[in-house]
Amino acid sequence: MEFGICIPHYGKPIDLPRILDTVRRAEELGFDSVWVTDHILVPQTLEIIYRDHMLDPLALLNYVAAITTRVKIGTSVIILPYRNPIVVAKMLATTDQLSGGRLIFGAAVGWMEPEFAALRAPFADRGAFSDECLRLIKTLWTQEKVSFEGQYFTFTEMQASPRPLQQPHPPIWVGGNSPRARRRVAEFGDGWHATAMPLDELKAGIADARNKWARRGRTGEPVFSLRIPCSVEGVSQEVLHYPPRRPGRDNLTGSFSAIVERLGAYQELGIQHLALEMSMQSHEATIASLEAFASRIRPQLQG
């Protein structure tokens, strides 16, 4: 199992040295990935960690690429209807080139209706729009000379550059916990990037994703990854008190042994990559948690 850390670029006053220190320490400690998160405009009335002090994910991703050499750099997740997919494809292809082929593209349809309204993004049709975005991005990433005909975007005989360094394209991990999201994995993605699901729901979701993948005629199986808040008993220090982002979400908390046991359960289900969110902790507690995870938790796992 591989492990990543969600970069704390939201929820507390911007402190660039500490943000970058988190990234560097994660790489030094042997973590496999670092992740940025996406929101643009959040209602003042919504008490959510992503409302305050949030740096732009795509701009930050290139900065992170420049200060790291090994870790994968990922988006968890880009909300597809918020931006022109042609521009996103070019920006992320550039990121993949600049990082030496380390990009993981996590993408989803989004859920915050007031944010859609402010951005004049299609909320009611966000599923169909996102499907076309993924189809268009993959086309731009894999073909130099491009013609495309869709419901939302149509053009002929255009040239796309740059294309990503990774071939045929960077991994596409589709976020979202719904059956339709898992259908999108089978149709357009390389993996399912679930969010903080309880074990029983995660087990059912993985079975559903595998079934949809096989029915689609895909070989092998998708990558299964999970983003989840993490705090280690006796190490983590909670400093923010935002409520859970959405109801029914799980978290990875407890003693060292309890976390090791839960991670073993994830392995048995087929989870291959965990993105740990520690952004509600102080910087000192985050670093201590990373160090504890690397030295006292990860070595106890098999594989």
The predicted pLDDT at position 264 comes to 96
The predicted pLDDT at position 238 comes to 62
Number of structural domains (the chain) is: 1
The predicted pLDDT at position 47 comes to 86
> Within the chain, which residues score under 70 in pLDDT?
238-248, 303
Residue with tokens 């931006």: 83
What is d(CA 78, CA 72) in angstroms, rounded to the nearest whole number?
16
Interval 193-221: pLDDT, tens: 999 999 999 999 999 999 999 999 999 99
**Cα 90–chain centre separation:** 19
Q: Identify the domain containing residue 54 by its residue range.
A: 2-300
What is d(CA 154, CA 83) in angstroms, rounded to the nearest whole number?
16
Residue 198 belongs to domain with CATH number: 3.20.20.30
Contact status, residue 73 vs residue 103, Cβ threshold 8 Å: yes
Interval 214-262: pLDDT, tens: 999 999 999 999 999 999 998 987 654 444 455 668 999 999 999 999 9
The predicted pLDDT at position 246 comes to 57
